[in-house]
Amino acid sequence: MYKPKLDKDIRCPLEYGLDVFGGKWNSRIICVLAAKETLRYSELRSELTNITDAVLGASLKALMKNGMINRRSYDEVPPRVEYSLTEKGLSVVPILQSICQWSGAYHKEGMENTMQHCQKCDYNGSGR
């Protein structure tokens, strides 16, 4: 797994928030778990298109380390693992929904590459 050479230099609450739920995959994982509540790894993987197993695994570990998601293992054969949002993870959902609404309102119309909503996005396109 990739490890940065330098420790993160987080100097304000905004930087902390962007580090925890920012990036392409962390926010999507949070949104999918918010819509579905609890998912197994394979179900989560199928909800997120174009993500590799390595990136999904690393993202899940980072989100667990930051207290955003729970991982529950069952003592079964074959092994079963489920992921869900913690209270801290649930508290981020309204922020991500607001960012989605803002992006929809201010994304330039007619751009060559149009933005597609995530499969479980509840953004209605009204912009506000």
Give me the pLDDT at residue 18, please: 87
pLDDT at 2 over 80: no
For the record, the structure tokens of 96 come out as: 């991500």
- The sign one gets for the Cα dihedral 98, 84, 56, 19 is positive
CATH code for the domain in which residue 31 is found = 1.10.10.10
Q: Which amino acid is at 20?
A: V
**Whole-angstrom Cα distance, residue 66 to residue 60?**
10
In a domain? residue 124: no
Q: Using the structure block, give the residue that is written with the tokens 């922020």.
A: 95
Average pLDDT of the chain, as a whole number: 83
Residue of 24, 17, 12 whose CA lies nearest to 89: 17
Nearest 5°: the CA angle 93, 97, 98 is 120
Any bridge partners for residue 72, and if so which? 82
Domain assignment of residue 56, given as a range? 13-106
Q: Note whether 56 and 45 are within 8 A (CB).
A: yes
In a domain? residue 127: no
pLDDT at 125 over 60: no
- 116 vs 25, higher pLDDT: 25
**Whole-angstrom Cα distance, residue 121 to residue 128?**
15
Residue of 10, 57, 1 whose CA lies nearest to 29: 57
How many structural domains is the chain composed of? Answer: 1
pTM of the predicted protein model:
0.79
Q: Using 50, 70 and 90 to split pLDDT, how confident is the model at 22?
A: confident
Least confident of 5-14, 45-54, 67-76: 5-14
